[in-house]
């Protein structure tokens, strides 16, 4: 069996990348292997996490006029089967999402279709959930298409909001109770489809 080759795209701290690395070590992810981590931010701590685990890294500046051309070439050169967006803060074009149809997954820190779409990323999502006053939020892993946060849902997990929550406290709880669990699980499910015998 040849495992599916996974590339993880990151922009920041990379706690979801860490959850994927840990899940690979513990055997939760067994049908895929993280072979590349790409960042659009040179200073992303996620790059250090990859290096600490001997995973190849690449940096493509967000501002590069041919950002997506460079990224597509890299992913094809490395024979990547699955692309995981793990805190990747850049919207990808329809050309990109079609090039890798059914091969890109994203983790979003709310229960889609609430608090998602253009402009909803990172802490902002939790600020809006608290402002609205919902009592339950959570995380969603979904396939990525041309509509921001609009692709079909793979897994979701609910998380309760508690009295006195701040966006930061809620973000941490959603990560711990939902994102770090369902992202590796979804990654394994999708990897199973791209194993080569």
Out of 4, 5, 8, 15, name the contact with ligand GAR by CB under 6 A: 15
User: Which of the stretches 6-14, 61-69, 128-136, 154-162 binds ligand GAR when contact is defined by CB under 6 A?
Assistant: 6-14
* Cis before 113 (ω within 30): yes
Active site residue 108: yes
Q: List, in sequence order, every beta strand (DSSP E) within 117-182.
A: 136-143, 153-160
Out of 58, 102, 122, 153, name the contact with ligand GAR by CB under 6 A: 122
Cβ burial, residue 169 (10 Å; 0-12/13-18/19+):
middle
Out of 4, 8, 14, 190, name the contact with ligand GAR by CB under 6 A: 14
Residues 167 and 141: their CA atoms lie apart, in Å, by 20
107 contributes a contact to ligand GAR by CB under 6 A = yes
CB 124 within 8 A of CB 116: no
Residues 178 and 172: their CA atoms lie apart, in Å, by 10
150 contributes a contact to ligand GAR by CB under 6 A = no
47 contributes a contact to ligand GAR by CB under 6 A = no
32 contributes a contact to ligand GAR by CB under 6 A = no
Residues 25 and 92: their CA atoms lie apart, in Å, by 30
To ligand GAR, the closest distance from the beta carbon of 47 in angstroms equals: 11
Q: What kind and span of H or E run contains 186? A: helix 180-193
Task: Single out the catalytic residue among 108, 137, 139, 151.
Answer: 108
Closest CB to ligand GAR: residue number: 87
To ligand GAR, the closest distance from the beta carbon of 133 in angstroms equals: 20
Q: Give the residue numbers marked as catalytic.
A: 108
């Amino acid at each position: 069996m040849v495992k599916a080759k996974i590339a993880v795209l990151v922009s920041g701290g990379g706690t979801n990348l860490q959850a994927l690395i840990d899940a690979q070590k513990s055997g939760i992810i067994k049908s895929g292997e993280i072979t590349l981590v790409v960042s659009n931010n040179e200073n992303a701590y996620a790059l250090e996490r990859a290096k600490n685990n001997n995973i190849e890294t690449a940096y493509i500046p967000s501002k590069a006029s041919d950002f997506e051309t460079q990224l597509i070439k890299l992913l094809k050169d490395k024979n990547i089967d699955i692309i995981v967006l793990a805190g990747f803060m850049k919207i990808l074009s329809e050309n990109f999402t079609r090039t890798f149809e059914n091969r890109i997954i994203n983790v979003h820190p709310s229960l889609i279709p609430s608090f998602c779409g253009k402009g909803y990323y990172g802490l902002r999502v939790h600020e809006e959930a608290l402002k609205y006053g919902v009592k339950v939020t959570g995380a969603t892993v979904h396939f990525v298409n041309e509509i921001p946060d609009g692709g079909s849902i793979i897994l979701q997990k609910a998380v309760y909001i508690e009295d006195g929550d701040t966006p930061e406290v809620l973000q941490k709880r959603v990560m711990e109770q939902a994102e770090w669990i369902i992202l590796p699980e979804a990654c394994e499910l999708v990897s199973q489809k791209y194993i080569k015998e």
